[in-house]
């Protein structure tokens, strides 16, 4: 097996940053429920800011936001937005400016629409997934050209909104769970296990968290190319269940996403 060597001028390569974004935006973990039993732990105005580190190098930043509620084809909808970018010194070698947008029903039980706009070095691609819950199908287009049509389960999420759907679940040690998620080309079932509790140090102070280990067998890209890959996420052990930290080991090394700032929902907009 060839040995992969890297240097600061090559970091983050497309594999490293894509892996980091995949972790943050592809947490296919929750078994969605048709009924909304508890108030949502997030709402319009919430903003989560992360630093992306490759080993000890600060290589990029990512932001997740809950936008004001809206409509999709006349259906009341939740609106989520994520952005990712490399830091200035990395821009000189490999500039990344990615935007992800997702819309779900108001109770966040299934997706309605998903758009990703990737701009990574000289590579760019805009993809859109339209969900038809009544027909249980999705339609994936690239630059407006329909490429894939898939039959789907009754409750299925896009790669970003599934993270927010997960936050509806009340966690406890030894909990196991799984869910349906699609990128418009394939649908997979992700699995995870709540291992233990642990306190994570952040710029906002020490945050008690649940440590959750994800099964990476169904994740694509750099995870599929990395024998022995692992992926661990820490979620705050409170009613918000905020993703505080992500750590992974892949073929190109170790990377982490660390929460560096949190803005709660605006009180008037919560739920």
Radius of gyration, CA atoms only, the chain: 18
At residue 135, φ and ψ (nearest 5 deg) are: -90, -5
Q: What is the pLDDT of residue 224?
A: 47
Q: What is the pLDDT of residue 165?
A: 86
Determine the Cα–Cα distance for residues 98 and 26; give it in Å rounded to an integer: 15
CA dihedral 218, 219, 224, 230 (to 10 degrees): -100
271 assigned to some structural domain: no
Residues in the chain: 271
Q: What is the pLDDT of residue 253?
A: 64
Helix (H, G, I), strand (E, B) or coil at 222: helix
Look at residues 24, 25, 28 and name the one whose alpha carbon lies nearest to residue 215.
28
- Tokens representing 150 are 């898939």
| Burial class of residue 112 in the structure, from the number of CB atoms within 10 Å of its CB (0-12 exposed, 13-18 middle, 19+ buried) | buried
Determine the Cα–Cα distance for residues 92 and 118; give it in Å rounded to an integer: 18
DSSP H or E run through 25: helix 14-25
147 assigned to some structural domain: yes
Name the residue range of residue 119's domain: 8-262
Torsional sign, CA 195, 64, 248, 182: positive
267 assigned to some structural domain: no
48 assigned to some structural domain: yes
Q: What is the pLDDT of residue 76?
A: 97
Specify whether the CB–CB gap between 114 and 161 falls below 8 A: yes
Specify whether the CB–CB gap between 80 and 101 falls below 8 A: yes
Helix (H, G, I), strand (E, B) or coil at 248: strand
The set of residues, in sequence order, having a beta carbon less than 8 Å from that of 267 and lying 6+ positions away, is: none
142 assigned to some structural domain: yes
Q: What is the pLDDT of residue 37?
A: 57
- Residues of the chain short of pLDDT 70, as ranges, are 1-37, 190, 216-229, 249-253, 269-271
Determine the Cα–Cα distance for residues 211 and 193; give it in Å rounded to an integer: 9
1 assigned to some structural domain: no
Q: What is the pLDDT of residue 8?
A: 37
pLDDT, one tens digit per residue, over 189-226 is: 767 789 999 999 999 999 999 998 877 555 544 334 44
Q: What is the pLDDT of residue 251?
A: 54
Look at residues 209, 210, 168, 165 and name the one whose alpha carbon lies nearest to residue 190.
165
Specify whether the CB–CB gap between 125 and 145 falls below 8 A: no
Q: What is the pLDDT of residue 254?
A: 74
Q: Is the peptide bond before 216 cis (omega within 30 degrees of 0)?
A: no
Determine the Cα–Cα distance for residues 128 and 97; give it in Å rounded to an integer: 17
Query: What's the structural domain count of the chain?
Result: 1
206 assigned to some structural domain: yes
269 assigned to some structural domain: no
Q: What is the pLDDT of residue 16?
A: 43
């Amino acid at each position: 097996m060839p040995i992969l060597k890297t240097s600061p001028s090559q970091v983050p390569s497309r594999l490293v940053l894509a892996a980091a974004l995949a972790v943050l935006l592809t947490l296919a973990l929750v078994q969605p429920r048709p009924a909304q039993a508890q108030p949502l732990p997030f709402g319009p105005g919430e903003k989560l800011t992360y630093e992306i580190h490759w080993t000890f190098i600060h290589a990029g930043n990512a932001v997740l936001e809950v936008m004001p509620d809206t409509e999709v084809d006349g259906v009341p909808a939740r609106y989520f937005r994520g952005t990712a970018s490399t830091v200035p010194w990395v821009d000189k070698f490999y500039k990344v400016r990615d935007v992800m947008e997702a819309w779900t029903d108001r109770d966040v039980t299934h997706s309605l629409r998903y758009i990703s706009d990737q701009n990574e070095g000289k590579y760019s691609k805009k993809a859109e997934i339209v969900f038809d819950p009544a027909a249980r199908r999705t339609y994936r287009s690239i630059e407006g050209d329909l490429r894939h049509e898939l039959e789907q389960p009754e409750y299925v999420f896009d790669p970003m909104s599934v993270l927010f759907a997960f936050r509806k679940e009340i966690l406890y040690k030894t909990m196991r769970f799984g869910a349906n998620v699609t990128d418009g080309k394939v649908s997979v079932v992700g699995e995870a296990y709540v291992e233990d509790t642990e306190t994570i140090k952040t710029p906002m102070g020490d945050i008690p968290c649940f440590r959750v280990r994800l099964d990476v067998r169904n994740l694509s890209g750099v995870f599929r190319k990395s024998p022995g890959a692992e992926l661990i996420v820490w979620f705050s052990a409170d009613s918000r269940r905020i993703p505080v930290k992500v750590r992974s080991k892949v073929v190109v090394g170790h990377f982490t996403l660390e929460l560096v700032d949190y803005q709660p929902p605006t009180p008037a907009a919560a739920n």
